[in-house]
Amino acid sequence: MCEKNLAQQILQDIDILNTQGLDRINPVKNNELIQQYNCGNSPYAEEIIAWLRGEYTFDPACLTG
């Protein structure tokens, strides 16, 4: 699922990725999504995987520094 199919897959998952948000995706679905986007050569898929792994968690402390 790389490049051409990636856009189609994102469109299929947009509700989960955008509306539900990371904190409301159950762990099983989260792992399924990580495997699904793990095609190894797409920077776009790598960004989605990083987000699913919690690498972009917002820290409110950055607003009070």
pLDDT digits (tens, 9 = 90+) for 38-50: 977 889 999 999 9
Q: How confident is the model at residue 2 (pLDDT cuts 50, 70, 90)?
A: low
Q: What is the mean pLDDT of residues 12-22?
A: 90
Mean pLDDT of 48-58: 92
Distances in whole angstroms, Cα of residue 46 to Cα of each of 8, 16, 17, 64, 65: 16, 17, 14, 30, 30
Give me 28's structure tokens. Answer: 């099983």
Q: Are 56 and 50 in contact (CB under 8 A)?
A: yes
In this predicted model, which residue has the larger pLDDT, 36 or 59?
36
Model confidence band, residue 4 (pLDDT cutoffs 50, 70, 90) = confident
> If you average pLDDT over every residue of the chain, what do you get?
88
